[in-house]
Structure 1
Amino acid sequence: MSTPARSLRADAARNRELLLAAAEEEFAERGLDASMADIASRAGVAKGTVFRHFATKEDLVAAIVGDQFAALAVVARELLGAPDAGEALLEFLTVAAAALQRRDLTFLQAFSEGHPMVSDRRDQLHAAVGALVDRAQAAGVLRPDVTGTDVFLLVCAPVHAAGFHPRPESDLWRRYLGVIFDGLRREGATPLPRPAPPWP
């Protein structure tokens, strides 16, 4: 039988998940104008519950962005064990782009810039992507002048490229992911015009 303390922890964890899901929906619809009251209403909880979990809107946004980075880092680390290094990198980029296509909240990153948890999880994701890139280069399938930072920065590119179309089909991003991934391949690569940016 569950203890009252365990039940309270389960309720708190469930409320946190409800709040994060509601916040993602509110931010997707209203941008940063979404209020904590609207988020609480969508989640079906009292406004005070929001502030018990997230003291400020900045903390709530940081939780969303940090969880996104953490989830993608898990995917990248799991793919390090895949037998085909090139396919593993393509699979990671596909999963990342599909997540962005579902709900693009990359605009929240600027709002959470400087938050220590977000910075830490972004660095962890960057390291995991770098490991995928190193493995693909060692296998001879990725151009040698591309870095983990390059690939990390390209994660959003397919969805953003498709977004320029006035009426993009839901899977149009897959076309541009193909273009990008072909540009990452070793075959036919020409020298890039400048060095890769450093990672802060």
Structure 2
Amino acid sequence: MTNPTGSPALAGRRAQAARNDAVILDAARAVFLDDAKAPIAAVAERAGVGISALYRRYAGKEDLLRRLCHDGLRRYVAEAEAALAEPDAWSAFANFLARLVDADVHSLTVRLAGTFTPTEEMGRDAVRAGELTEALVRRAHADGRLRPDVGVHDIPLLLEGCAAIRVPDPERTGQLRRRQLALLLAGLVATAPPLPGPPPVAGEFGRWSRRE
């Protein structure tokens, strides 16, 4: 029975809006993975919505790019927090990386880096992501399983390397990424030979700096 205040209908509209937003974000991810310079109209076309419906949700392309990358950053933070709650340090570390690879969190990092101005909230979440990653690495070092010359800034490079693997078949892409991750993890154990050169340092890649 419909509430006289109209709240069920409102709830229905909100649910539909959430579904439409998910469709737009999925379309945007696919479009910008193919071509970071694609116009926002290509997103509307792929999503099957009018351009006006897209602009009701996002002020422009930069706003949409920010949302995509911030969603990925939030997912990273959530997975890292979950990993720190696991009792076994090495398993938590390895499972954390596997979940991020499976979720394809880093595919847009290099593709979209420098194409938008990050918000202060993104900056705070990025700092939080770094702190959590450092905690995971520190735990794995203390456990004795992670090689001592691996630094916290090696982890994003490892994830981006897995995300760079992409073939037309999504299932095969997932298999190849997991295979690559397994190879990389084998090289991260404490008994592996020393790594060449110093580890990456904070800010060396300038991921979120806007390119002018």
**How does the TM-score come out when normalised to structure 1?**
0.80
> Which residue in the other structure is 1:13 paired with?
18
Q: Check the 8 A contact 1:112/1:118 in 2, yes or no.
A: no
* 1:109-141: CA deviation from partner (whole Å, max 9, x where unpaired): 332354444433333322222221122112111
Tell me by how many angstroms 1:55 deviates.
0.6
Give the distance between the partners of 1:74 and 1:195, measured in 2 at CA. Answer: 25
> Which residue in the other structure is 1:22 paired with?
27
Q: Check the 8 A contact 1:97/1:155 in 2, yes or no.
A: yes
Tell me which amino acid in the other structure corresponds to 1:112. F
Tell me which amino acid in the other structure corresponds to 1:23. A
Does residue 105 of structure 1 match 2:108?
A: yes
Deviates more, 1:175-184 or 1:47-56: 175-184
Provide closer, same or farther for how the CA distance between residues 67 and 187 of structure 1 changes in structure 2, counting only shifts above 3 A.
same
Tell me by how many angstroms 1:192 deviates.
4.8
* 1:53-72: CA deviation from partner (whole Å, max 9, x where unpaired): 11110110110111112112
1:83-94 correspondence runs (5 A): 83-94=87-98
Provide closer, same or farther for how the CA distance between residues 191 and 40 of structure 1 changes in structure 2, counting only shifts above 3 A.
closer
Tell me by how many angstroms 1:188 deviates.
3.4
Provide closer, same or farther for how the CA distance between residues 195 and 149 of structure 1 changes in structure 2, counting only shifts above 3 A.
closer
Does residue 146 of structure 1 match 2:156?
A: no
Q: Check the 8 A contact 1:58/1:112 in 2, yes or no.
A: yes
* 1:82-133: CA deviation from partner (whole Å, max 9, x where unpaired): 22211111112112222339x9333023323544444333333222222211
Does residue 81 of structure 1 match 2:65?
A: no
Say which of 186, 192, 207 aligns to 1:188. 192
1:96-135 correspondence runs (5 A): 96-100=100-104, 104-106=107-109, 107-112=111-116, 114-135=118-139
Identity of aligned residues (%): 30
Structure 2: gaps spanning 5 or more residues: 207-212
Q: Check the 8 A contact 2:151/2:199 in 1, yes or no.
A: no
Q: Check the 8 A contact 1:19/1:43 in 2, yes or no.
A: yes
Q: Counterpart of 1:111 in 2: which secondary structure?
A: coil
CA RMSD of aligned residues (A): 2.8
Tell me which amino acid in the other structure corresponds to 2:107. D
> Which residue in the other structure is 1:69 paired with?
73
**How does the TM-score come out when normalised to structure 2?**
0.76
Give the distance between the partners of 2:68 and 2:60, measured in 1 at CA. Answer: 13
Deviates more, 1:181-190 or 1:115-124: 115-124
Structure 1: gaps spanning 5 or more residues: none
Deviates more, 1:185-194 or 1:48-57: 185-194
Higher relative contact order (CA 8 A, sep 6+): 2
How many residues of Structure 1 are paired with residues of Structure 2 in the alignment? Answer: 193
